[in-house]
Amino acid sequence: MPELPEVETTRRGIATIMPGRVLRRLLVHDGRLRWPVPVGLPATLEGRRVLACERRGKYLLIRFEHGTQIVHLGMSGSLRRAPLDEDLRKHDHVEWRFDDARFLLHDPRRFGAVLWHPAEAGPLLAHPLLANLGIEPFDPGFTPELLYAALQSRAQAVKALLLGGRIVVGVGNIYASESLFLAGIDPRTPGRRISRPRSVRLHDAILQTLSQALESGGSTLRDYVNAQGAPGAYFTLHAAVYERAGQACPRCGTPIRRIVQGQRTTYFCPGCQKR
């Protein structure tokens, strides 16, 4: 699934083109996504100017003066700039057309979303999809102390807590496994058993892992492409434990182990990640 680095990389790509331009046409080629694309959305947006391209968690926010489009890439989706004369591909669902640019939402599994939050509906961040999200990892307010305090009240496994997005957003499956490895924490450890020093290490590991992913354009998916259509490189270049079951730990040589937690695959080193 595209996670924070992939979504932020996409945001940065579209933010160099969309803001300041008038959306000439919004074409819904197939509105069957996780939630159906609102029927009247093209009429609502065509002829309107994009003000900004923002992000909250894994949601892209395309802001107009009269509201905001909320776009989610789903399990395997991408939003990329396409040549003006390129033929549509199978699973191209929604198209944004400007005078000199064109973007396509491609979503083979149809778990994505293109929704609309009108300005008169109230604050955007009060939208049900956004209201309960945790803090952004690069927000100055995300500190080791905040992470420690949030973990102390929870008995759930720390890996599940990171994936849940209520404490901090954007630490998806690959990045949670990698962060816990860097911090030397067993992914099955209950949150309330994470000490203050280990919270500091985990906080640092989260920022390091996500920073590396952003630098290389992300990729939790082998077929992920960014807004320019280029693939991410993080998956193959940086993963220390993810999808390396049976291989030697790069630190201690112990074989990497694979387990399933809450229907999500976890990779860790039983030798140097302690409960």
Q: Hey, which residues are catalytic here? A: 2-3, 58, 264
102 has which bridge partners?
97
CA–CA separation, 147 vs 159, rounded Å? 13
Look up residue 227 and give its DSSP letter: T
The two tokens of residue 75 are 């399990």
Exposure string for 170-184, b = 16+ CB within 10 A, e = fewer:
bbbbbbbbbbbbbbb
CA–CA separation, 110 vs 183, rounded Å? 35
Q: DSSP string covering 228-252, please?
A: TSPBP-HHHHH-SSTT-TTSBPTTT
